[in-house]
Structure 1
Amino acid sequence: MRTARLRNVRPVLWAGWAALATGAVLCVLGWYGISGERYAERQLPYLASCTVPGAALIIAAAVLLAHGGNALAAARVEELYGLLVAADPEDAASADGTAAAPVAVGGDLLMVPGGTLWHRADCPLVAGKPEALPVDSRVLAGGDLAPCPICEPTASDDPPDDPPDVAPDDSSSGAAG
């Protein structure tokens, strides 16, 4: 995938650099020819034959290099996206040949400690990460985490409310002793 896209981008970049070099040489030749002539009518042929085409080549080179740079960046983004969403079972196998155990199953929601997003368990950003933890509903309610833009967990995926960690204290019930 990467080499096919780059084969289309590299000739554009090379053409841009060649046009830039040729345009610069033509501009220098035109300047050199004009600088040796005292009268304007003798300078016009140098302008018409060297300087104007040289400037046009420099502008064309800028367009080609900008287009080639954007296409190269797009190719890199596509490659990274392909790596991100590739979920082949062979990729999940560890180096010793054993398959990695899934972190969570079903509609579980996960988060990475220190992260800013919450994900579904099958999200490629957290799948196979041992540090991924189940999302606490209190964290979601607090607004500390945003939904992942890749797996797009919905509100219906929210985990049920967890019971409070601390039991209520009976001594604060207002009974005087």
Structure 2
Amino acid sequence: MRTARLRTVHPVLWAGWAALAAGAVLCVIGWYGISGERYAERQLPYLASCTVPGAALIVAGAVLLAHGRGAIAAARVEELYGLLVAAEPADAEAGPGQAAAAPLAVSGDLLMVPGGTLFHRADCPLVAGKAEAVPVDTKLVASGELGPCPICEPAEETD
């Protein structure tokens, strides 16, 4: 599902590469012309007609390439966001409000990661399967040093 915006960015990239190539050619011609002249007054026409415009084309090509790649990245993010928004909920019968209200984890056991700032349900995806996860120390929860995980929302068990 490529968007039309991706197709319009490619000419910008081609123009950038063409400007870079033309600028490099002009710089080489200018260098070759300058290198063949002994006196500075005879070098100035090469500098003015080839080297300076060549350097300007190189800068313009670099700007076009940066803009084109940024536009491609933005179009891809837009496309991925569209896919994310268009994704159907896993349970087709449940309404959109019900799917969002259901907690991700439902286990009553609480775990924490040593050195962490949150406590989690045992089946929370952030601690599930981690060997370093240990049962929650109720003193840390009571003192407020540990907060509830915003993903699995274990706050109901501690009240």
| Counterpart in the other structure of 2:42 | 42
- Measure, in 2, the Cα distance between the counterparts of 1:48 and 1:62: 21
Q: 1:143 aligns with which of 124, 147, 154?
A: 147
| Counterpart in the other structure of 1:114 | 125
Q: Check whether the contact 1:27–1:55 (CA below 8 A) recurs between aligned residues.
A: yes
| Counterpart in the other structure of 2:19 | 19
Give unpaired runs (5+ residues) of structure 2: 106-122, 128-137
CA RMSD between the two structures? 3.4
Deviates more, 1:2-11 or 1:66-75: 2-11
Q: Check whether the contact 1:30–1:51 (CA below 8 A) recurs between aligned residues.
A: yes
- Measure, in 2, the Cα distance between the counterparts of 1:51 and 1:2: 40
Give unpaired runs (5+ residues) of structure 1: 93-98, 117-137, 149-157, 165-177
TM-score (norm 2): 0.64
Q: How many residues align?
A: 124
- Measure, in 1, the Cα distance between the counterparts of 2:92 and 2:23: 57
Q: 4+ runs of 1 displaced by more than 4 Å?
A: 99-102
**AA aligned opposite 2:53:** P
| Counterpart in the other structure of 1:56 | 56
1:6-41 CA distances to partner (integer Å, 9 max, x unpaired)? 112111111000000000000000000000000011
Tell me the secondary structure at the aligned position of residue 37 of structure 1.
Answer: coil
- Measure, in 1, the Cα distance between the counterparts of 2:40 and 2:148: 72
Tell me the secondary structure at the aligned position of residue 156 of structure 2.
Answer: coil
Distance 1:38 1:115, change over 3 A: same
- Give how far 1:46 is off: 0.5
- Seq. identity, %: 69
- Measure, in 2, the Cα distance between the counterparts of 1:160 and 1:52: 67
Q: 2:156 aligns with which of 151, 157, 161?
A: 161
> Which runs of structure 2 are paired with 1:27-38 in the superposition (5 Å)?
27-38=27-38
**AA aligned opposite 1:3:** T
| Counterpart in the other structure of 2:9 | 9
1:87-123 CA distances to partner (integer Å, 9 max, x unpaired)? 348xx6xxxxxx8776x9722222574338xxxxxxx
